[in-house]
Chains A and B, each alone.
Chain A
Amino acid sequence: MEKKWWKILCVAILTYAILGALLFDAPRLNILNETIRNLHFHVTMWFGMIILLTASMVYAIRYLRTGNQRFDTYSVEFANVGILFAVLGLITGAVWANYAWGEPWSGDPKQNNSAICLLIYCAYLVLRNSINDDQQRGRISAIYNILAFAALIPLLFILPRMTDSLHPGNGGNPGFNAYDLDSRLRIVFYPAIIGWTLLGVWMISLRVRMRKIQQALED
C-alpha cells in the first residue's frame, strides 16, 4: 500500500474539526450568534477551493511547458473537485444567509461573483468536452484554465471589496479578522482547512487512478 498516513491524518482532523465545530465554545457576537460555527464549514470550503484551483492552474502551466499528459489529468481533476467545493461553499453560505440575512440568495456582490466563478469553471469543462483530440484539448483547456484563474482572483478578492457588501469581512462588517483573533475558533478553523483540503486531494487521487485504469482498458 502506498503512503497511508495522510489519509488517516485526514480522517482524524476532519473528525476533530466537525466535532469541534459543533461542540466547542464559540464567541458570542451580535447578529452572528451561533451561526458563527458555519465558519468551520463555509469558509474552509472556499479556502480549500482556492488551494485546489491554484494547484489546477499550476498543473495547467506545467502541462503547457512540458506537454506531459499526466499534468493535464491532474489539472482537470483538481478543477473538478474545486468546483465541487465551490458548490458546497455556495450552499453552506446560502444556509447561513437564510438565518443571518433572512433569505438564502440576496444578490450580495460576494454571492454573485462566486456564481460567476462557477460559470467560468463550468465553461472550462464544456470547452474540454467539445475538443476530441487529446493534445489539442490539453493545450487549449490549460490556456482557458489560466484565464479562468486570472478572472477568479479579482472576482473573489478585489471587486467585492470595492462595493458595499453585507458579507462578513466586507463593507465594515465584523469579519474574519475580528473573530480570527479568538483562539477558540482558530484551534478548529485552521485544522479544518487542512482536513477538507486533504479530503479533496484524496478524492482527486482516486479519480486520477480511475482515469488511468480507464485509459489502460481502452488501450
Chain B
Amino acid sequence: MIITLIQKEFILEWRQRYAINGIILYLASTVFICYMSFNLKLGLVDPVIWNALFWIIILFTAVNAVAKSFLQESFGRSLYYFGLVKPESFIISKIIYYTGLLLAMSTLGFVFYAFVMGNPVQDKLMYFLVLLLGSVGLSSTLTLTSAIASKASNSSSLMAILSFPIIIPLLLVLIKASKNAMDGLDRSVYTDQLLTLGAIIALVMGLSYLLFPYLWRS
C-alpha cells in the first residue's frame, strides 16, 4: 500500500514537472544570491558561515518543497484517499517520498554550492550521512506541519510560523554535526550528535504516526 502511494507521488510529480523544476531553480538562485551578496570565495568566507549558510538554504528549499505536499491536495481528492487508505500508510508514504526528494535536492544543492563557494568538506562520507539524516528529519517535521497548516486559512505563511521554531533544535544539531564532518574530526567524537539526530527523528516520526489519524478525520 505504502509503495503504491509513493508511486502515486512520483507520477504526480512527473506529470507536473514545473513544481520540481521550480524548486531546483529556487535552490540555484538562492545559492547564487548568497554567493553574490557575500561576494567571496572560499578562504575568505569563514567555514562556520559556509556551513550555516548551506543549511539555511536547504531549510528554505525544504519548506518550499514540502509545503505543497498537502496544500496541493484538493478537497475531493483528500476525500477519495480517505475512503481508500489508512492514514498511517498515507503519512509514512509522504514522509518517505519527501525524504527522497529532499535528499536529491540537498545533494544537488551541495554540488552547486560547493561549485561556486568552494568545498572545504574533509570527511565527505560523513557529511553525506548528515545530509541524509537531515533530509529524513526535515521531511518528517515539515510533512506534519504542512498537514496542520493546510487545514487553516492563510496556510502558506502559517507553514513557516509553525515549522521554523520546531525545526530549530534539529537544525542546530545538524549544523554542529556537519561542521565536525567538515573539519574531518575523528568520527567517534560526534557519534553522540548523530544519535541525538536519530532520537529527534524518531520522536517526530512517532508523533506523526500517532497524531496524523486525528488530523485526517477533520
Using Cβ atoms and an 8 Å threshold, which residues of chain A touch B200? 154
Contacting pair B148 A151 (CB below 8 A): no
Does A116 lie at the interface of the complex (its beta carbon under 8 Å from any beta carbon of B)?
A: yes
List B137-169 residues whose CB lies under 8 Å from chain A.
Answer: 144, 148, 151-154, 158, 161-162, 164-166, 168-169
Interface string of B201-215 (1 = CB under 8 A from A): 001100100010011
**Distance, CA A154 to CA B170, complexed state (A):** 11
- Give chain A nearest CB distance to B208 CB in angstroms: 9
- A residues near B (Cβ < 8 Å) are 64, 116-117, 119-120, 123, 126-127, 130-132, 135-136, 139-140, 142-144, 146-148, 150-151, 154-155, 159, 162
Using Cβ atoms and an 8 Å threshold, which residues of chain B touch A140? 148, 151-152, 215, 218
Contacting pair B162 A144 (CB below 8 A): yes
Does B196 lie at the interface of the complex (its beta carbon under 8 Å from any beta carbon of A)?
A: yes
- Give chain A nearest CB distance to B217 CB in angstroms: 8
Can you list 13 A-B pairs, Cβ within 8 angstroms, ordered by A? A64-B214, A117-B165, A126-B158, A127-B152, A130-B152, A130-B154, A136-B218, A140-B148, A143-B215, A146-B207, A146-B211, A147-B207, A154-B169
Using Cβ atoms and an 8 Å threshold, which residues of chain A touch B148? 127, 140, 143-144
Using Cβ atoms and an 8 Å threshold, which residues of chain A touch B172? 159
Using Cβ atoms and an 8 Å threshold, which residues of chain B touch A119? 164-165
* Nearest CB in chain B to that of A133: its residue: B218
Interface of B is mostly: helix
* Nearest CB in chain A to that of B158: its residue: A130
Contacting pair B168 A116 (CB below 8 A): yes
Using Cβ atoms and an 8 Å threshold, which residues of chain A touch B166? 120, 147-148, 151
Contact size class for B?
20 to 34
**Distance, CA A116 to CA B214, complexed state (A):** 26
Contacting pair A123 B162 (CB below 8 A): yes
Using Cβ atoms and an 8 Å threshold, which residues of chain B touch A148? 166
- Give chain A nearest CB distance to B192 CB in angstroms: 8
Contacting pair B211 A143 (CB below 8 A): yes
* Nearest CB in chain A to that of B150: its residue: A140
Contacting pair A136 B162 (CB below 8 A): no
Interface string of B156-199 (1 = CB under 8 A from A): 00100110111011001000000000000000000000001000
- Give chain A nearest CB distance to B116 CB in angstroms: 31
Using Cβ atoms and an 8 Å threshold, which residues of chain A touch B207? 146-147, 150
In the complex, the 6 A-B pairs of residues with the closest C-beta atoms, listed nearest first: A119-B165, A120-B165, A130-B152, A143-B211, A123-B161, A131-B152
- Give chain A nearest CB distance to B68 CB in angstroms: 19
Known: A123-B162, A159-B169, A159-B172. A143 touches B153 (CB 8 A): no
- Give chain A nearest CB distance to B134 CB in angstroms: 17
Using Cβ atoms and an 8 Å threshold, which residues of chain B touch A155? 169
- Give chain A nearest CB distance to B52 CB in angstroms: 15
